[in-house]
Structure 1
Amino acid sequence: MYSRRVGPGNASFRWSARWWEHPEALARIDALWRSWEHLRLDAATGSSTWWIEHADHHMPILMSPEGPFAKSEDKNTPGEPLPYEAPPAGLFPDMRRQHHEG
């Protein structure tokens, strides 16, 4: 859903298809996911709050040419999704399962 043209060199935005290999990015994306999971339950303003207070803060930092993906050579064309490779199996265990099994 988040669509920006990314690339190396003079590109305004950077992204790594293997975002999960960058500790800062992993921490920020995890925070984005956790805040989304909480705020999506607020049918009134949750989505807007998430965009304003979370995505609009973290994404420019993540995608900055000086950010965690500064050395990434990954690129896409306008309108394409951000480059993506699936993370290794087991990197993100299903916390819902662990909660119910414990």
Structure 2
Amino acid sequence: MRDRLRHMYSRRVGPGNASFRWAANWWNYPEALARVDALWRAWEHLRLDGATGSSTWWIEHADHHMPILLSTEGPFTKSEDTNKPGEPLPYTPPPEGLFPDMRAGSN
């Protein structure tokens, strides 16, 4: 989320009439936590496929989960967090230890 996903989706988010919603503390929302975790796990698996892995991730994972997460009716419906056009999604670091590094080969 910190290094990649929030930069890929530079949608303008905010309350009121904004078309998209996002919460900087996305990890405090159980649905968002589950969906972002699923996106990350799929990414870690599919990024190793140099042929179609990236496309598969977009089509089968990101294109499914992100519109639900960003929806005005999604888990962040009451969020007041905003960003400016072209900026990454708002981000607050999660509490230390919430996401242990589970990548292959990490310490």
Q: TM-score range by the shorter chain?
A: over 0.9
Counterpart check, 1:50 vs 2:50: no
User: 1:25/1:37 Cα in 2 relative to 1: closer, same or farther (>3 Å)?
Assistant: same
Instruction: Map 1:51-90 onto structure 2 (within 5 A).
Output: 51-90=58-97
Q: How does 1:4-19 map to 2 (within 5 A)?
A: 4-19=11-26
AA in 2 matched with 1:52:
I
Task: For 1:67 and 1:56, locate their aligned partners in 2 and report how far apart those are by CA, in whole Å.
Answer: 15
Aligned residue identity for 2:54? S
More helix by share: 1
Task: State the SS of the aligned residue for 1:95.
Answer: coil
CA contact (8 A) 2:44 2:103 kept: no
RMSD: 1.7
Give the whole-Å Cα distance in 1 for the aligned partners of 2:59 and 2:91: 24
How many angstroms apart in 1 are the aligned matches of 2:22 and 2:106? Answer: 35
Unaligned runs of at least 5 residues, structure 2? 1-7
Q: Deviations over 1:46-99 (max 9, x none)?
A: 0000000000000000000000000000000100110000000000012248x9
Report how many residues are paired.
100
> TM-score normalised to the size of structure 1?
0.92
Structure 1 ranges of 4+ moved more than 4 A: none
1:35 aligns with 2:29: no
> Tell me, which stretches of 5 or more residues in structure 1 are unaligned?
none
Amino acid at match of 1:74: D
> Residue 94 of structure 1 corresponds to which residue in structure 2?
101
What TM-score, normalized by structure 2, do the two folds share?
0.88
* Structure with the greater alpha carbon radius of gyration: 1
Cα distance 1:49–1:100, how it changes in 2: closer, same or farther (>3 A)?
closer
